[in-house]
Structure 1
Amino acid sequence: MDQRGCGRSIPHASEPDADLATNTTWYLVEDLEVLREHLGIERWLVLGGSWGSTLALSYAETYPERVTELVLRGIFTLQRRELDWYYEGAAGQLFPERYADFLEQVPGVAPGDRIAAYHRLLFDPDPTVHVPAGKAWTTWESSTSSLFENPDRIEESTLAAHATAFARIENHYFVHHGFFREGQLLDEASALRDIPGVIVQGRYDVVCPPITAWELHQAWPGSELVIVPDAGHAFDEPGTLHQLIEATDRFASR
Structure 2
Amino acid sequence: MQGEISQVNGVLLWHLGQGQGIPIVLIHGGPGAYDYLAPVADLLDKSRFQVIRYEQRGSWRSEKKGPYDIATFIEDLEQLRIYLGLKKWIVCGHSWGASLALAYSTKYYTSVKALIYISGTGVNPAWHADYRVNRLNRMSPADREEYIHLRSILETLEGAEGEHTKDRLRELSIRADLFNQENFDKLPRTDGQFVNNKVNQEIGSECTEYFLNEEFLKAISTHSFPSLFVHGGTDPRPYQYVYELASNMKNSEFVVIPNAGHYPWLDHPVALGEQINEFLAKKVLSER
1:220 Cα deviation from its structure 2 partner: 0.7
2:221 is equivalent to residue 176 of structure 1: no
The one of 273, 279, 283 equivalent to 1:247 is: 279
Q: 1:66 to 1:155 in 2, by over 3 A?
A: closer
Superposed CA offset, 1:156-204 (max 9, x none): 31x2323x52x44333333333551536665532132x20121111122
Note the 1:1-16 alignment, pairs <5 A.
1-11=54-64
SS in 2 for 1:201: strand
Q: Could you tell me whether the CA contact under 8 Å between 1:24 and 1:179 is conserved in 2?
A: no
The one of 170, 189, 197 equivalent to 1:156 is: 189
Q: Which runs of 5+ in 2 are unaligned?
A: 1-53
Q: Could you tell me whether the CA contact under 8 Å between 2:116 and 2:228 is conserved in 1?
A: yes
Q: Alignment length, in residue pairs? A: 227
Q: 1:174 to 1:155 in 2, by over 3 A?
A: closer
Root-mean-square deviation (CA, aligned residues, Å) is 2.7
Instruction: Decide which structure has greater helix share.
Output: 1
Note the 1:92-107 alignment, pairs <5 A.
92-95=136-139, 97=141, 98-107=143-152
Instruction: Tell me the TM-score normalised to structure 1 length.
Output: 0.77
Instruction: Report the identity percentage.
Output: 22
> Quick one: distance in 2 between partners of 1:188 and 1:104?
42
SS in 2 for 1:80: coil
Higher relative contact order (CA 8 A, sep 6+): 1
2:242 is equivalent to residue 189 of structure 1: no
Q: Which runs of 5+ in 1 are unaligned?
A: 13-19, 109-116
Instruction: Tell me the TM-score normalised to structure 2 length.
Output: 0.69
The list of structure 1 runs, each at least 4 consecutive aligned residues, that deviate by more than 6 angstroms after superposition, is none
SS in 1 for 2:235: coil
The one of 137, 142, 147 equivalent to 2:179 is: 147
Q: 1:232 to 1:249 in 2, by over 3 A?
A: same
Q: Which residue matches 2:135?
A: 91
Instruction: Give 1:64's aligned amino acid.
Output: Y
Note the 1:1-254 alignment, pairs <5 A.
1-11=54-64, 22-77=67-122, 79-87=124-132, 89=133, 91-95=135-139, 97=141, 98-107=143-152, 124=158, 126-137=159-170, 139-149=171-181, 150-153=183-186, 156-157=189-190, 159-162=191-194, 164-165=195-196, 167-177=197-207, 180=210, 182=212, 186-192=217-223, 194-206=224-236, 208-236=237-265, 237-238=267-268, 239-250=271-282, 251-254=284-287
Instruction: Decide which structure has greater strand share.
Output: 2
> Quick one: distance in 1 between partners of 2:276 and 2:102?
16
> Quick one: distance in 2 between partners of 1:30 and 1:154?
29
Q: 1:135 to 1:154 in 2, by over 3 A?
A: farther
1:56 Cα deviation from its structure 2 partner: 0.6
Instruction: Give 1:244's aligned amino acid.
Output: I
> Quick one: distance in 1 between partners of 2:164 and 2:145?
18
